[in-house]
Structure 1
Amino acid sequence: FLLQFRMRDAMMAGPEDIVKAVDEVKAFVAEGSPGGTEVGLAVNATRLLEMIGNTKAAADAYRQFGAALAKSTEPQIARLGAKFDGAARRLELVGKPMELKGALLDGTQLDWAAYRGKVVLVQFWATWCAPCRRELVTVKRNYDRYHARGFEVIGVNCDDERADLDEYLKENPLPWPNLFSTDPEHRGMDNPMADYYGVLGIPTLILVGKDGNVVSIEARGQVLDEQLERLLGPAEPAPAAPKPGEKTS
């Protein structure tokens, strides 16, 4: 509990104190076999580093915590070790190629190479996630504006049950493909791509440029708007809504 208070105080004090507090958490987590308390501290510590924009320190911390968690005698916590290592991989993606593979909803495999030359948004999401559903509004708006210019979207769905996704898409069709794991043991937040990139929270949106290299690992909301305008030019304004009583062609 003392370290939890230490993290809270560090957050109030500023970036330098946060880095020092994270070092204390690293030392604590490295002792013995990590359990639930250590996982909570590790998650909070890395998120604080991300919050202050210290991506390098956050990636280093994810790797160190990952190595420690992998030694846990509890299988679920040991699995988190690989997920933390994946989070470090995700934080270091900008300027590098992104790997993406898996089964689409029709059972075929994604042809990731076919997207080269396009600007692609990779969206980790789930139907049960309210922020994900809200973010879909922004993504759909940009898809309508930019698709003809070479903007594509690929969803990586993190639902536990395929039926939940199918039911949602029946009521809310999406014009882009979605990946869904065919392995029942690796669904939900354990989706193979979510594990590979250490996705610990959703929505997570990663924007890939025409050259196949990642442009942004936080392409949500206004960030997506700005990046698409930079990469593909200004969006055409949406048509004005008709006035009451006005006829439309």
Structure 2
Amino acid sequence: MKGSIINMKRKRSKIYIKSPEQIEKIRESGKINIALLDEVTPLIKEGISTEEIDQFIYNKTKAYGAIPAPLNYEGFPKSVCTSINAQVCHGIPSKDTILKNGDIINVDVSTIYNGYFSDSSRMFCIGEVSPERKLLVERTKEAMYLGLDVVKPGNHFGDIGQVISDFAKKHNYTVVREIGGHGVGIKFHEQPFVSFVSKKGTGALFEPGMIFTIEPMINLGDNEVFIDESNDWTIYTADGKDSAQWEIMVLVTETGAEILAY
């Protein structure tokens, strides 16, 4: 979320290597996170409010015996983030925000289960979406998976940012610099800060047992963003153009990577 992610790149502390027992607990949390996104999908359509999405996630999370990680995290008031069109991330659900034909929305779900955290998000196209918006959504997902492809022991965290930023530039998009992925599992946000504009061969080496998110935020316009002062959470593109984001939670294995939540 806002404070932990933006400020983490200015800190230097250890990256947790999870034990097999911790990995299994985080994997269980991830399964619930996946199920929540699967189950909310049919609800996300023209005419519903983002508050309805939030209430659905809250109720379903509780039914699984889990806790919505965003709720009351550093003052965040809801159980899920719902970010529409020019909202880059941390959109706050509201009964007054109604999904319209042509919108694109990111739904970001995070779960605590038996004390362990999981985190992933998906994009949704509402009704008839413009070709420009549809391509942004599709290419952002492709960029995320290009980042996943470089995750294996011996490579560097900076390799993720290089391949994602190169791909975005190729399609005349920009990548948000101030916000990135993060370690997760034992805490909601851990080291490392995962930049998506970093350089190949820089940053920590991947090691088996590391768990983190890959979640590029890619803009149609420039990469400048600002925080809504009315709630001190929601981040928008400065030029008002669209932004898209997909997020997966990844475990580094002996030979590559395993997706724990998507």
Same-fold status (TM-score > 0.5)? no
Name whichever structure is richer in helix by fraction. Answer: 1
Which protein has the bigger strand share?
Answer: 2
TM-score normalised over the length of structure 2: 0.30
Q: Which has the larger radius of gyration?
A: 1
Larger RCO, structure (CA 8 Å, separation 6 or more) = 2
